[in-house]
Structure 1
Amino acid sequence: MWIEAGFSQVAQALLWPVLVLVGLAFVYALWLGGRTLMEGWQRRGGRYASLPSNDASLSLEELELAVVRQLEPVRLLSRLSPMLGLIATMIPLGPALQSVAAGQGQQALAVFSSAFAGVVLALAAASVGLTVYSVRRRWLLAELLDVRKARGVAA
């Protein structure tokens, strides 16, 4: 029984850090979305390039690594946010169910509301992250293809 109590205490201690991470993920997703919209607008005008295509000192492998480095934070956002949302939802469910069992429905409802707000923000962040990841990946792979063609390397 002491193991269960210990797990419960650790889980409760994780709630606030997880909620903070969900909030940060949501803000980061909004920033990335705005940045991607701005980049798309600049790309329409032909004034934007993410890769240093005219730098012949960089090998194709180094350029590919640059693509991965640019995409990795967005990929992590889209993959980790749902997990954080699930954690933010699951931690309060135990106490909420205990409140329901004790006949304190209003208290349980308040806990459920905050728990579901965390998962909604996390899923919104993941959705924006996945969209940004897909669009930026397409742009970066097209740039990489252009660099390969300019260097005379078969794609």
Structure 2
Amino acid sequence: MIHGLTLGLLHHVVSWLLYPVLIALAVCLLMVLWECGSALAERFGALTRMQTGDALMFEHYAVRRLERVDLLARSGPILGLMGTLIPLGPGLSAMGSGNIEILATAMTVAFDTTVLGLFVGLLGYVLGRVRRRWYEACLQNIEQRDAI
């Protein structure tokens, strides 16, 4: 009795997570696209203007930017995996009862969230690596300028 009640409760809690995961994944996609635009703006002007400032202030700026893209690089695939696994439970149950339409919908959601999560993670990773290189070069320029 407790075993069935516990499993039923667990199933309901997990199924409630699907929409928050989809919303979080959409927010991550918007954020990573925003970060791509910010990176382009940095590359074509903002970084050269920042080199005239203070090294400590630039380091603080760089750390905040890198933390954001690192968070996106890690959270995108996690949310994609959650979006994959959550609809598979009901999809497999539907397959057991012969309802192929529900299974097809669940599989579509599963694959779409996986691809979207990996895309967010890939863009976040690439942005993080590229920005680290840019920021290190800018910081070296600032330190060389201050040493003179």
User: Does residue 107 of structure 2 align to residue 124 of structure 1?
Assistant: no
**Residue type at the aligned position of 2:27:** L
Per the alignment, residue 64 of structure 2 pairs with 69
Give the RMSD, CA atoms, in angstroms.
2.0
Shift of 1:12: 0.8
Shift of 1:51: 7.4
TM-score by length of 2: 0.86
Which residues of 2 match residues 1-150 of structure 1 at below 5 A? 1=3, 2-40=5-43, 42=44, 47-49=45-47, 52-55=50-53, 58=54, 60-150=55-145
User: Sequence identity, in percent?
Assistant: 31
- 1:48 aligned counterpart, secondary structure: helix
Structure 1 ranges of 4+ moved more than 4 A:
none
Distance 1:124 1:50, change over 3 A: farther
Structure 1's unaligned 5+ residue stretches are: none
Cα distance between partner residues in 1 of 2:69 and 2:48: 15
Shift of 1:92: 0.7
**Residue type at the aligned position of 1:23:** A
Q: How many correspondences in the alignment? A: 145
Instruction: Answer whether contact 1:82 1:119 (CA < 8 A) is retained.
Output: yes
Structure 2's unaligned 5+ residue stretches are: none
Cα distance between partner residues in 1 of 2:71 and 2:10: 27
- 2:98 aligned counterpart, secondary structure: coil
Cα distance between partner residues in 2 of 1:103 and 1:68: 52
